[in-house]
Chain A
Amino acid sequence: MQLLSHHSAAQLKVHHPEAGEELRRLEILLDQSSLDDGLLALCRRYFETELRHQPWDPPASPTPLEAACLEFCEQFRVSVDTMSDAQVQALLAHLSADDVYNLASAVYLLELSCRLDLTLEAVLP
């Protein structure tokens, strides 16, 4: 799972190599984790699309887990502090507490790395 764009990876390599190396390790770890690759790719596509102001094309027939995960991602992006119990319970209906915890951590990485990409593209083009 690629976290950083080539531009961001190059900027980090020059200006913050230690952080860049740790994010590269996290990319490898996400690939090796028990989290569903397809679900993570869907989250990444959602953040890339929304944060870049591109039209979001949701899955035509999302599984209940995909739908719950996308709702979690949207709330995470817009206003994490107003995440509802129903939104968390919707994930727990399909995943264990351990998996929801790890998914939330992965969502953090996918969202913030996308925000980092966009910010570095703008301030250090």
Chain B
Amino acid sequence: MSEAVSFPAENLTPGVSAQGPLDRAIAEFAAAAVRADRVDPVLTELVRLRCAQYHDCRICASVRTQVALDAGYEESMQAKIANYANSDLSPEIKAALKLTDAMLIDPGAIDPDLAAELAAYFTPDQLVEICVDVMKWSQQKAFVALRIEPPVSDQHLTQLLWDKDGHPIFGEPIRES
């Protein structure tokens, strides 16, 4: 993590920057990304968490999407993401995480082998959804840069739910089973 960045968030003008036109429009793009549902929610959650790890986004790491929990996401999966290539995650998930890394690290160096591997597991609709998700799950980069993305809670993980339009709602603490 970086040294303490002292961005004066207290000087932000609501409606001009925070919750301003650009903020709200980015939120609508993010909601559109969330509404897409052609990819398995557990895979989507692992892509989200990979983005959180790569960017060191504290708010992203402090939540778990309820839709993924309902679909069978287990916390043990999160520990496998950092070394996913050597994990027992499914080949489909590994391919999606390779795509995530390629987009986040060096998209100019994606080779045809990866494209062929992805085509074996995903339709074009699903591939575009994953790529748009990586862009959406990188939304907090702007806040990481200014270090204005505190975790929802320091004490526990928190449910992340979506309203009917795809906007985020923070829910209850997640109890470890």
With A102-B17, A108-B138, A116-B131 as given contacts, are A19 and B29 in contact (CB-CB < 8 Å)?
yes
Beta-carbon nearest neighbor of B140 in chain A:
A108
- Count of residues in B whose CB is under 8 Å from the partner chain: 62
| Contact across chains for A118 and B107 when beta carbons are under 8 A apart | yes
- With a CB–CB cut-off of 8 A, which chain A residues contact B106? 51
The answer on a CB contact under 8 Å between B142 and A107 is yes
Interface of A: prevailing SS: helix
Q: Which residue of B lies closest to A15 (CB)?
A: B128
B-contact 0/1 string along A86-125, CB 8 Å cutoff: 0011001000111111101111110111011011101111
State the majority secondary structure of interface residues on B: helix
B7 within 8 A of A: yes
Residues A81 and B142 in contact in the complex (CB < 8 Å), given A98-B13, A119-B103: no
* A101→B17 contact, CB < 8 A: yes
Q: How many angstroms between the C-alpha atoms of A115 and B102 in the bound complex?
A: 9
* CB-based contact A98/B17 at 8 Å: yes
Q: Contact size class for A?
A: 35 or more
Quick one: given A51-B107, A102-B20, A119-B103, are A108 and B29 in contact (CB under 8 Å)?
Answer: no
| Interface assignment of B9: CB less than 8 Å from any CB of chain A | yes
Query: Known contacts A80-B144, A82-B2, A92-B8; can you find 10 more A-B pairs with CB under 8 A?
Result: A15-B125, A21-B32, A51-B107, A52-B108, A88-B6, A101-B18, A106-B22, A118-B103, A118-B110, A120-B128
7 cross-chain CB contacts under 8 A: A16-B125, A18-B36, A29-B25, A88-B6, A112-B135, A115-B103, A123-B131
